């Protein structure tokens, strides 16, 4: 089946060249869209002047927008119904696309099996094996030999899981709005879209015989402009984490194959006495409304710059009328680490027990269930 692969790249040229080389070796007649996301490493020159391939559509952006934006824009530009994404540090193996496409149908998203070097933790969804941790020392022959053997061993095997890279019908993705751009340029956009795919009824599977090598994975450790030591990177990830919690009312929970477990969203109001700025910052993302007894104007001024939501609707004076379905009374003087664990687990606790209207205690927290109602986000 004819399809298009979308590859955004930011200052990854040596790795991008390996990704492209693997597509030419093992990708067959695939259309390729490569986006230079305002790189400063010569990527645009390579795409426009050095790369001679009429199967490659090059997009040069003068503004950094991030892969959250470019995956969807690439889909809109693709001329095929089927699209896939690759990180610009991924190297596909023999049979990669064939082994994903054989499982693909409308309403289904198929992901590949990643090999990662042993600097990353092991997991049932991946293979940990070292074929190099730098673009210049990749072991092509050893990777090809292993991939052929492993693909044969895992022939037609699938498991229940999802993560990049994946392939799908682009209309399945775009019809639910694509990626949520509050997570641009990057940061938890994948967990958000996985949750939304599930809540929209899509099936997600992993093809165990479609194998790629992920050179660097978490933290972009070789990329000084994006790496975890960069304060801008940390700030973006912190902002997106808080936005994810505000949106879903919960944090990311995956099973052993990285398939998401999604708890419903509940309308929660936190009544916080003896509040302080640090406690407000810690708790605000977890509530739909915080009712507090301190001046919160400085917090609003600083935090509003980091959120697409109108935070003034989420923070109210303590004496305001409380209209939430579930109210949690919190005393800042006694609030403990265990109480914060309960806050983080509250959606799962509510889902498990489905409490009737009434009051009960959870550690130092006092809960009042006025109305039990589950909200499923799509």
Could you read off the pLDDT of 278-294 as tens digits, one per residue? 999 999 999 999 999 99
- Cβ pair 185, 64 in contact under 8 A: yes
Q: Is 218 a residue whose pLDDT tops 80? A: no
pLDDT of residue 191: 96
End-to-end alpha carbon distance in the chain: 29
Indicate left, alpha or beta for 284 from its phi (over 0: left) and psi (-120 to 50: alpha). Answer: alpha
DSSP result, 303-337: HGGG-SS-GGGTEEETTSPP--SEEEEEETTT--H
Q: Strand pairing of 90-92 and 203-214?
A: antiparallel
CA 181/CA 70 separation, integer angstroms: 10
Overall average pLDDT of the 137-146 stretch: 96
The residue ranges of every structural domain in the chain are 3-248, 268-369
Q: Residue 87 — very low, low, confident or very high, per pLDDT cuts 50/70/90?
A: very high
Average pLDDT for the chain = 94
Partners of 113 in beta bridges: 211
Rounded mean pLDDT of 96-125?
93
Q: Which residue spans within 86-236 are E strands per DSSP?
A: 90-92, 108-116, 126-128, 158-159, 166-169, 203-214
DSSP state of 263: P
- 369 pairs with which residues across the strands? 326, 358
Tell me what the mean pLDDT of segment 98-108 comes to.
Answer: 97
> What percent of the chain is modeled with pLDDT above 90?
88
**289-301: average pLDDT:** 97
pLDDT at position 317, please? 98
Query: From residue 173, how far is each of 8, 107, 109, 170 by CA, in Å?
Result: 18, 9, 9, 5
pLDDT at 228: 60
pLDDT of res. 221: 47
Q: Evaluate whether the domain defined by 3-248 bears CATH number 3.30.420.40.
A: no
Contact status, residue 43 vs residue 13, Cβ threshold 8 Å: yes
Q: What is the tens place of the pLDDT at every residue in 150-207?
A: 999 999 999 988 889 999 999 999 999 999 999 999 999 999 999 999 999 999 999 9
Question: How far is it, in rounded angstroms, from Cα 338 to Cα 233?
Answer: 29
pLDDT at 230: 76
Instruction: Encode pLDDT of 43-59 as tens digits.
Output: 999 999 999 999 999 99
């Amino acid at each position: 089946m004819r399809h298009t692969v979308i590859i955004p790249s930011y200052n990854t040229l040596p790795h991008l060249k390996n990704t492209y080389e693997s597509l030419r070796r093992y990708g067959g007649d695939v259309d390729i869209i490569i986006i230079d996301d305002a790189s400063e490493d010569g990527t645009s020159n390579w795409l426009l002047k050095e790369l001679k391939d009429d199967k490659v559509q090059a997009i040069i952006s003068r503004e950094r927008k991030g892969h959250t934006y470019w995956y969807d824009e690439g889909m809109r530009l693709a001329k095929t119904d089927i699209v896939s994404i690759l990180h610009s540090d991924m190297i596909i193996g023999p049979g990669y696309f064939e082994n994903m496409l054989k499982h693909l149908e409308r309403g289904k998203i198929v992901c590949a099996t990643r090999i990662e070097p042993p600097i990353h933790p092991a997991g049932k969804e991946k293979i940990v094996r070292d074929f190099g941790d730098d673009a210049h020392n990749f072991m092509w022959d050893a990777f090809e030999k292993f991939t052929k053997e492993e693909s044969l061993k895992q022939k037609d095997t699938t498991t229940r899981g999802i993560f990049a890279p994946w392939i799908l019908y682009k209309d399945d993705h775009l019809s639910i709005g694509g990626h949520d751009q509050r997570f641009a340029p990057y940061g938890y956009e994948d967990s958000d879209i996985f949750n939304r795919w599930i809540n929209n009824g899509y099936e997600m599977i992993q093809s165990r015989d479609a194998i790629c090598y992920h050179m660097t994975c978490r933290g972009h450790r070789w990329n000084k402009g994006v790496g975890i030591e960069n304060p801008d990177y940390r700030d973006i990830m912190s902002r997106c984490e808080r936005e994810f919690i505000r949106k879903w009312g919960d944090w990311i929970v995956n099973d052993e194959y990285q398939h998401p477990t999604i708890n419903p969203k509940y309308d929660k109001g936190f009544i916080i006495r003896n509040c302080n700025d640090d406690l407000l910052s810690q708790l605000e993302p977890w509530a739909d409304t915080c009712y507090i007894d301190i001046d919160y104007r400085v917090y609003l001024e600083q935090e509003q710059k980091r959120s697409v939501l109108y935070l003034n609707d989420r923070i109210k004076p303590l004496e305001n009328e409380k209209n939430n379905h579930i109210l949690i009374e919190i005393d800042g003087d006694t609030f403990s680490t265990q109480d914060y664990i309960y806050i983080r687990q509250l959606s799962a606790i509510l889902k498990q027990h489905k409490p009737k209207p009434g009051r009960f205690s959870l550690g130092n927290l006092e809960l009042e269930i006025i109305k039990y109602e589950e909200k499923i986000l799509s």
